[in-house]
A and B are shown apart, each in its own frame.
Chain A
């Protein structure tokens, strides 16, 4: 073996490498661009496998998408829970310092409650079912029950119950909103963790249509939105569907018990027995009835007094 050959090889490759390295080092100074420090931090946390499991072009691209485009923080499957928590921490310090939110399902259309328009035999996913005239449910706004939201949840905070509706486990829900984005029917919604009462219906249809399709759908009677029922004004009608403003919602018991369709769900009810709930409702009804009776009596007395006064005048 000729030694000069080894030396030539060594020198030439070394030379090419040194020249290119110097050029790159210089270029990195000349072409330096400032990057959001959060992007760099998240980039460091990610596994750097550039595997593409998140459907972005690589870890750096995903880090950028999380910060600037609000991409889902739960997409990195190699990183798992640890990475998700760390990203949430970085973003959370200034992005989501507000109220802790949890997801809830704004539909109570169980297999029993809600009728089907037709039988659906396609792929078992909500986004497929929704292509066929908006889904098999007779209600245009209700849950289709294939659990795409449950699949979207990376925290194991959801499951499908026996009635074909998703259930959110509040203790595990971190409020990432992945299920809200996954639902093609916009049935999944967010509410503050400390609020208890929500409306379990999403139907914006007219009363007759709703009651034809579902036993427990909101018919838009507006009773809950009346100032007499909810003096705080926390419930407002948006078309034919009431919407709770969770910021000022304090006591929605009246709305809950007055709803003729029982659309209101109370998380507090989970700890009580059915009898207790029934008793609560009966008590509320009794107080209401007393109030109405008293009001009626007062009105009658007033009328009688007025009559008496008129007679006396005459």
Chain B
């Protein structure tokens, strides 16, 4: 395995193809849970956790169930089923056996079980051949899920920091609240678009 692939994947999924600001996936939690920095951080941690986990299981499901039985066309529905049940299971397990971890990120888990960003990372792990010129192997898939989660967390934290300041800013009456939030989000997205000019291979 080529180590440079991992670096390329990391830079790509954190900055260039940031899930929120580049691919526009997972907008709901991005707007919903970015009011306070600490809940944004909690949500980010949960997303990193779920994305890593989802990448792991879906790669295994794809390789050992869907491909051998020629069921690739059932990929989306199978992935949703597996990810949702797995996250639910982990949540119940954590609630019983790791209450402190459940407290810090467990509450965010139900919000993202079937989030499009999570499903997106699972599908892209299998579809994305342009990035490193070949299909991702198992480790690259898991790594892609982990770094995509980090990219999501960065976007969420940026937004939360800006929104905490927006609370006090002198915003025109008609733009107060959600409108100014959307405008700020679009400006961050424009800024992140600048990364797409980077050549990393």
Report which A residues bind B (CB closer than 8 A).
8-9, 12-13, 16-17, 20-21, 23-24, 27-28, 30-33, 50-52, 55-58, 60-61, 64, 123-125, 127-128
Q: Determine whether the beta carbon of B89 is less than 8 Å from that of A24.
A: yes
Chain B residues touching A, range: 20 to 34
With A16-B78, A17-B81, A20-B82 as given contacts, are A60 and B110 in contact (CB-CB < 8 Å)? yes
Q: Determine whether the beta carbon of B39 is less than 8 Å from that of A123.
A: no
Q: Determine whether the beta carbon of B107 is less than 8 Å from that of A61.
A: yes
Q: Chain A residues near B60 (CB, 8 Å)?
A: none
Give chain A's interface secondary structure class: helix
Proximity bits, B143-177, A CB within 8 Å = 1, else 0: 00000000000000000000000001110000000
Q: Determine whether the beta carbon of A23 is less than 8 Å from that of B85.
A: yes
The answer for the CA separation of A99 and B180 in the assembled complex, in Å, is: 42
Give chain B's interface secondary structure class: helix
Q: Determine whether the beta carbon of A13 is less than 8 Å from that of B95.
A: no
Q: Determine whether the beta carbon of B168 is less than 8 Å from that of A123.
A: yes
Choose among B43, B85, B169, B170 the residue that contacts A57 (Cβ–Cβ < 8 A).
Answer: B43
Q: Determine whether the beta carbon of B74 is less than 8 Å from that of A55.
A: no
The answer for the CA separation of A28 and B89 in the assembled complex, in Å, is: 8
Q: Determine whether the beta carbon of A55 is less than 8 Å from that of B81.
A: no
The answer for the CA separation of A8 and B108 in the assembled complex, in Å, is: 36
Whether B111 is near chain A, meaning CB under 8 Å from some CB there, is yes
Choose among A13, A20, A123 the residue that contacts B85 (Cβ–Cβ < 8 A).
Answer: A20
Min CB distance, B141 to chain A, in Å?
20
Min CB distance, A264 to chain B, in Å?
35
Q: Chain B residues near A30 (CB, 8 Å)?
A: 96
Q: Determine whether the beta carbon of A31 is less than 8 Å from that of B93.
A: yes
Report which B residues bind A (CB closer than 8 A).
29, 32-33, 35-36, 39, 42-43, 69, 71, 73-74, 77-78, 81-82, 85, 88-89, 92-93, 95-97, 107-108, 110-111, 168-170
Known contacts A13-B74, A33-B95; 12 additional CB pairs below 8 A are A13-B77, A13-B78, A27-B89, A31-B93, A31-B96, A31-B97, A50-B32, A55-B35, A56-B107, A57-B33, A57-B42, A57-B43
* Nearest 4 A/B pairs, CB to CB: A52-B32, A20-B85, A31-B96, A31-B92
Q: Chain B residues near A31 (CB, 8 Å)?
A: 92-93, 95-97
Q: Chain A residues near B33 (CB, 8 Å)?
A: 52, 57
Q: Determine whether the beta carbon of B92 is less than 8 Å from that of A58.
A: no
Q: Chain A residues near B93 (CB, 8 Å)?
A: 27, 31
Q: Determine whether the beta carbon of A28 is less than 8 Å from that of B92.
A: yes
Q: Determine whether the beta carbon of A23 is less than 8 Å from that of B89.
A: yes
Q: Determine whether the beta carbon of B108 is less than 8 Å from that of A57.
A: yes
The answer for the CA separation of A123 and B81 in the assembled complex, in Å, is: 49
Q: Determine whether the beta carbon of A57 is less than 8 Å from that of B92.
A: no
Q: Chain B residues near A21 (CB, 8 Å)?
A: 85
Min CB distance, B140 to chain A, in Å?
25
| Residue of chain A at shortest CB distance from B102 | A33
| Residue of chain A at shortest CB distance from B29 | A52
With A23-B89, A27-B92 as given contacts, are A16 and B170 in contact (CB-CB < 8 Å)? no
Choose among A28, A64, A124 the residue that contacts B170 (Cβ–Cβ < 8 A).
Answer: A124
